[in-house]
Structure 1
Amino acid sequence: MQDPSKLKSFLNDLPHLPGVYRHIAENDEVLYVGKARDLKKRVSSYFQKNLASPRIAHMIARVVRTEVTVTRSEAEALILENNLIKRLHPKYNILFRDDKSYPYLMFSGHAYPRLAYYRGSTNKAGRFFGPFPNSYAVRDSIQILQKVFRLRTCEDSVFSNRSRPCLLHQINRCTAPCVEKISVEDYQQDVQNALRFLDGQATDVIKSIEHKMLQASDALEFEQAALYRDQMQSLATVMHSQSMELNAQVDADIIVVLFEGGKCCINLAMVRGGRHLGDKAVFPTQVNGDSEEDVLSAFIAAHYLENQLPSQLILSHALPDKTLLDLLIEQQSRKTKIVLRPNETQKVWLELAQQNAHLALGRALSETSAKEAKTLALAELLGLPQDPDGLNHLWIECFDISHSAGEATQASCVVYQHHDMQSSRYRRFNIAGITPGDDYAAMKQALQRRYAKASEDASEMPDIVLIDGGKGQIEMARQVFEEYGLDTSKIVGVAKGEGRKVGLETLIFTDGRPSLALGVGSAALMLVAQIRDEAHRFAVTGMRAKRAKQRNVSRLEEIEGIGAKRRQKLLARFGGFTGVVNASIEDLQSVEGISQQLAEKIYESLR
């Protein structure tokens, strides 16, 4: 709790300006990050005698200091707030763990544009349609466009080296531009029709194709007329399958918040150009005591700071503060209408989104029960607390070593807690100063670096430390723990079975307990194997990235327009790849041979 005299002075000195505040606990743990239009009024409201929320009162009881950052505007404060929440994961903020960008449908910037699935920055050559709520929606749209407009999906390298049409041409899914079975002009017309279709102009596209069919028929080009006829029929079939659609040209997001069984689900459905693109379920964490309106507000801020606002937002609940939407509209310079009283068509979409949220929650609750059962089985096996709160906070770390014949040795540390893998807390250790290929020395170095501070701070120590390896690796772990005065009973070795088959592993202990071979049917062993495999995957991907870097395989090579000479100039100018990554567009442009356009391309590609 903060000193009352210091608190009063602190609150008196706060400015009436927009900014971000952070409530911090005794161990420097950030408990909560918030934004404010007026820092003085907002922060002072937390330190009143009677707080409306018991959850906030519990948090304030732990706060030892509050830090503030003044910003130029409330919109800037909103951006900073969300960046800090993503980086710090405060205990009392609503968190959205899925940090994957949304996928797009891409038409490449080629004379014969390629139709492709794409995820990443859209600041590059080509046309992008989306975002889509999930990858299935993108692939479904690609199949539709292939069937109707017969556009190519092959890589440019494949396209440039073909001497005869591929199978897709034979099954009428591609016009084979690779061997010039279609002219550039006709192919470009198909691309434009596809784009118009995606923009909700399907009726206009059909009329255009019908006109071409009649022209071909009048010119006695009956084979070409038949192709246009088939295209029209396919397009009509696709339009008919979209039985529930909004008006053409309408872009809308339907967002539903639902609580069931102590868990929260946000279901986001997307409509673009009048076409329903599917939906995506998101499960926020740390929502105890938060209302549907609060969860909805937090999601909208996190989602639309990185994605474009549609023309309509159809919501299941009202926003607690309209200021949030005003800030997002100001930032994007777009007009967006909130729909809380949907018309007949919008109501159908809202009910469908609610139904899908209910189904997604049912599946999630079922999966959660299965995960909890595995955690309980492992706790029982190891004699750990088995109460619900203890199981939820059971903290497991697992270590593995990976190298390529002694080259690019990396150690991984993955974390399991709250019945799931916590990828934001994973760590990798670059191993140096050992004999190449010495897994024992590598394991010892990784453990020393991870637990050096744990002897002074008990909060740094997990409940279980899994070591992927046999007796040699386990002995290294025992030595490190004894060196730092740590509890060796926390160490559990996972010795591989024959062929690394799950179910044949043996658990090894360092405190005198006999080894255990649990067998395939053990839920505890299934959890251990899951965590062990994730540690192995994380170590291998890290090793491969390090090996590629050591072999001078740079991401710069993947950027179009950057050859060997320009790459060398960039690396020399900025002292290595990291320097290039951190360089601004102006800095990049200062290098000989790098135009402003190329500098922008490098800047975006490396981010």
Structure 2
Amino acid sequence: YVDAERYRHDLHQAELFLAGRSQTIIDESIQGMEQAAEKQDYETAAHYRDRIALLKRIQQRQYISAEQGDADAVAIATSGEAACIVVTFIRGGQNLGNKLFFPRIGVESTASAILSGFLAQYYLAAGGSNSRVIPARIYINQAIGDRMLLAQVFSEQAGKKITVSVGNRGAPRRWLQMATVNATQALRQELANKLDMRARFETLREALNLEAIPERIECFDISHSMGEATVASCVVFDMNGAVKSDYRRFNIENIEPGDDYGAMTQALTRRYKRIKEGEGKLPDLLLIDGGKGQLSVAEKVMQELQVEGVKLIGVAKGVERKPGKEQLFLSGSKQPTILPADSPGLHLIQQVRDEAHRFAIAGHRMRSRRTRKTSPLEQIPGIGGKRRQNLLKNFGGLREVS
């Protein structure tokens, strides 16, 4: 049941909304929220809060729909030696979301130089097999010297006229304002995360009595289902966070199903044999997801490959198998080290280990899907796709063929 006064109020606000006066409704709702909060009527205040948030989202969509067509709004934010670039995708006048980029920059790099280099790399990579389409208009929040040259190159690649301009009025201005806010907030969060990550590295050095802060950490994990489709993962972290370009997966072959030690031996051997040959960089700290057994495997592999200068740690879940109760088996120590559950150093180890676990599981699932889609007939030399189809068609199925 809704009383007459409430009904008239709702009807009035509906009229305001249909008349395009949503800001008036927001102002009234803010007043109502403040009055409800003063009366400690928090349920009503929350109702007003949610209404305000909804109306602001609708306003934003209305702004974005003000200009039809396809465009990208590219905004850069910088702070010291860090930068964030946000590309907001406008298609048919609608905001389809954005993507964040954190380019590596030099000490003396200017915002315009960073943005110019990014635009060239980002849009010129849209050719070839890449499915990215260059929109007709690219709006930027920072003036760049080679704007006309970039527009000409983009036009030649896209086969249509492409404009690159500083959007300073109308809908493009609003798009860039939103993109700039997103870039600034994302950069602030990224810098905070880096400070937190550096603090974790320092705490880990102190907790493990290391001579220096480990600048590079690698972690290995194994994933399989009843010994099938075994995949080993290697993830890499430095003081800036995950170095995903250095991640590696290893499809494990020719071992007994479920032999995690054999799988770890194969993965470590393949990884560090290549690094010894000059393909990559050795870590300062190597984490192995497992206890003494897996640590012994790692020690043996490193000894056989004559790899030196890498600190080895086996990470076991502990007796209770609960987060925060991990036991750390350090190479050369007989007793495990147990860090406090609130230790930033332990949190770093957990983060790296969990990422290795996630990466291994994802690889295992992909390999399992490929295995299920692969017919054993594909393994027989001389039987191609057409002959395989004919065999299955004539015999009715794989079982009948065998």
**1:485 matches 2:306:** yes
| Other structure's SS at 1:520 match | coil
Deviation at 1:521, TM superposition (A): 0.8
**In 2, Cα distance between equivalents of 1:524 and 1:486:** 25
Supply the AA of the counterpart residue of 1:244.
Y
Alignment TM-score, normalising by the size of structure 1: 0.48
Deviation at 1:297, TM superposition (A): 2.2
2:144 to 319, 323, 326: 319
**1:362 matches 2:181:** no
The answer for the alignment partner of 2:317 in structure 1 is 496
1:177-226: CA deviations, max 9, x gaps? Answer: xxxxxxxxxxxxxxxxxxxxxxxxxxxxxxxxxxxxxxxxxxxxxxxxxx
The answer for the alignment partner of 1:371 in structure 2 is 197
Aligned counterparts, 1:548-567, within 5 A: 548-553=369-374
**In 2, Cα distance between equivalents of 1:432 and 1:358:** 47
Deviation at 1:378, TM superposition (A): 1.5
**In 2, Cα distance between equivalents of 1:524 and 1:548:** 37
* Bigger mean CA offset, 293-302 vs 532-541: 293-302
| Other structure's SS at 2:104 match | coil
**1:298 matches 2:123:** no
**1:339 matches 2:165:** yes
Deviation at 1:437, TM superposition (A): 1.6
Structure 2 residues without counterparts, runs of 5 or longer: 1-55, 127-131, 391-402
The answer for the alignment partner of 1:475 in structure 2 is 296
Aligned counterparts, 1:219-258, within 5 A: 242-245=61-64, 247-258=66-77
1:398 to 198, 219, 241: 219
The answer for the alignment partner of 2:237 in structure 1 is 416
**In 2, Cα distance between equivalents of 1:456 and 1:239:** 58
Deviation at 1:434, TM superposition (A): 2.5
**In 1, Cα distance between equivalents of 2:366 and 2:100:** 32
**1:463 matches 2:284:** yes
| Other structure's SS at 2:384 match | helix
Identity %: 37
* Bigger mean CA offset, 491-500 vs 465-474: 491-500
Residues 1:488 and 1:250: Cα distance change in structure 2 (over 3 Å)? closer
The answer for the alignment partner of 1:260 in structure 2 is 79
After superposition, the CA RMSD in angstroms is: 3.4
1:271 to 55, 79, 90: 90
| Other structure's SS at 1:401 match | strand
Deviation at 1:575, TM superposition (A): 10
Alignment TM-score, normalising by the size of structure 2: 0.70
2:270 to 449, 473, 480: 449
**In 2, Cα distance between equivalents of 1:366 and 1:439:** 38
Residues 1:414 and 1:459: Cα distance change in structure 2 (over 3 Å)? closer
Q: Is the 8 A contact 2:217 2:284 kept in 1?
A: yes
Deviation at 1:519, TM superposition (A): 3.0
**In 1, Cα distance between equivalents of 2:322 and 2:363:** 23
1:523-576: CA deviations, max 9, x gaps? Answer: 11111111111212222222233333333458xxxxxxxxxx9xx9xx824999
Supply the AA of the counterpart residue of 1:517.
I
2:333 to 512, 519, 544: 512
Structure 1 residues without counterparts, runs of 5 or longer: 1-236, 555-564, 577-590, 593-607
Deviation at 1:467, TM superposition (A): 0.8
The answer for the alignment partner of 2:349 in structure 1 is 528
Q: Is the 8 A contact 2:87 2:179 kept in 1?
A: yes
**In 2, Cα distance between equivalents of 1:320 and 1:434:** 59
**In 2, Cα distance between equivalents of 1:494 and 1:437:** 19
Supply the AA of the counterpart residue of 1:379.
R
1:237-284: CA deviations, max 9, x gaps? Answer: 997663424644243322222211431011223333334445443222
Supply the AA of the counterpart residue of 1:407.
E
Supply the AA of the counterpart residue of 1:510.
S
**In 1, Cα distance between equivalents of 2:386 and 2:118:** 39
